Amino acid sequence: MDLLLKSTKWMLPVMLVSLCSGCGYLFGDDGVFRDKSQDYKKSREVPALQVPEGDDSSSLGEMYPVPPITDNLLLAGDFEVPRPSPLVAGAQDEQVRIQTLGEESWALINAAPGQVWPQVRAFLSVSQIPLARVDANAGLLESAWVNLEGESMASRFRFRIEQGVQRGTSELHVLQMSQAGDVDNWPVSSADAAQESEMLRALAQYIANSADSTPVSMMADQAISTVGKISMQEGPDNDIYIRLSLPYDRAWASVGRAIEESNFEITDRDRSAGKYYVRFLGTDSEDEGGWFDWMLGGDEDPLVDQIFVVSVDTLDAQDVAIRIKQQAAADGADLPLMEKRDEQALLTLLKGNID
C-alpha cells in the first residue's frame, strides 16, 4: 500500500508537467482549440465547378451568397453613424398570421423560406399526405391524390412558399384541386375554398407549434430567399419613396395596416387617387421614442398632430411607390417645416410595418 501511494505521489507531478507541455498543442496559436474566427481570411478562391457541356447546372450556386444592398440611402443632413432600422414590424410579434385579401388567403410566417420548407415537408409526413412533386427552386410542393374524411371525391394540394415582404419572412399559399374535370392543370383558384382554408390553418398551426425546433433547408433558402420585396429608393428629383413589389390592391391594403401600426391616425382616404390622409400621433413607448428622437434629432416631436398625405402610386404591374408629404393647414397657418430627414424617418417607420 505504501509503495503504491509513493508511486502515485511521484506520478502526479509527471502527469501535470506532461499536460502543461501539451497545452501548446491544445490551446496555442496552432492548437486544436485555437481561435478559428479569422481562418476565413486564409481561404483560397477557387474557380466555379464546371459541368460537361449539355448537362444541367441550375442546381449549382454559391453556398453562402452575399445579398445585394437595397437600402443605400444616407440620412439627409450632417453625417452620423447609421443605426439599424427599428424592429417595429407587426409580424415580429407573432410567428404565424393568416392574412386575407378578398377571396385570397395566405400565411405570413416570421421565418426565412429555408426554415419554412422543412416544416411543410414535416407536416405532410406527419399527416400522411404523400408528395407527388417537389421543386425547391420554385418553392413548390404538390401532394398526390388523397381521400379526405367526409368528402365524396379525392383532392390534392399545392403548397407554394415565397419570400415575404420583409427580409427573413415567408408567405405560404395553399391551392386545392378536386378529382373532377381537368386534373392535368392546376386551377387558378381552389375548387373547394373550405378545404383550402382548413389545410392552410392546420399547416399554420403546425408551423407555429414547432417554431422552436426548426431545421433549415439550404437549397430552398438559396432558391427562394431574397432581400425582400421592399426597399427605400431615391427618385430622379431627389425625392425619397418606398418601392414595394406587390400588386396594387394588396399594396393599398398593406399600407393602410402599416399606417395604423406606425402611430398614425387615418382621417380620410381616397382609393381612386391612391391617397391616405393621416395625423401623426407621436410615439407612445420609451423604446420607440428613443429611436425616433434620434431620427428627428431632438427630444421633442415637432411633427405630432400634423396632417400628412401618404400616396400609393403604380410604377408597373408588380411595383408601387409609397410617399409621404406634409399637408398645408386648412386655416393657412404656418406649420413647422418637415425637413428631408424627417420625411425619411416617417417613411422608415412605415416601411418597418408593411407586410
Interval 311-343: pLDDT, tens: 999 999 889 999 999 887 666 666 667 788 888
Q: What is the identity of the amino acid at 37? A: S
- The DSSP symbol for 282 reads -
Rounded mean pLDDT of 121-125? 94
Distant-in-sequence, close-in-space partners of 250: CB < 8 Å, separation ≥ 6: 101
196-221 as b/e, with b when 16 or more CB fall inside 10 Å?
bbebbeebbebbbebeeebeebeebb
Residue 177, SS3 per DSSP:
strand
Give the DSSP H or E segment for 230: strand 230-234
pLDDT value of residue 4: 46
Give the phi and the psi of residue 54 in degrees, each rounded to 5: 100, -15
Compute CA 195 distance to the chain's CA centroid, rounded to the nearest angstrom: 27
Report the DSSP beta bridge partners of residue 333: none
What DSSP line would sit under 92-144, residue for residue? GG-SEEEEEETTEEEEEESS-HHHHHHHHHHHHHHTT--EEEEETTTTEEEE-
In a 10 Å sphere around its CB, with 0-12 CB exposed, 13-18 middle and 19+ buried, how is residue 145 labelled? middle
pLDDT value of residue 62: 63
pLDDT tens for 11-54 read 555 454 454 555 555 556 666 556 777 776 777 777 777 888 87
Give the whole-number percent of the chain exceeding pLDDT 90.
43
As a whole number of angstroms, the distance between CA 174 and CA 207 comes to 14
Is the Cα torsion angle 110, 212, 222, 126 positive or negative in sign? negative
**In 3D, which of 242, 245, 226, 244 has the Cα closest to residue 234?**
242
Task: Report pTM.
Answer: 0.70
The structural domains of the chain, ordered by start, are 102-224 (3.30.530.50), 230-351 (3.30.310.170)
Rounded mean pLDDT of 140-151? 93
pLDDT tens for 171-228 read 999 999 999 888 999 999 999 999 999 999 999 999 998 876 666 665 566 656 665 7
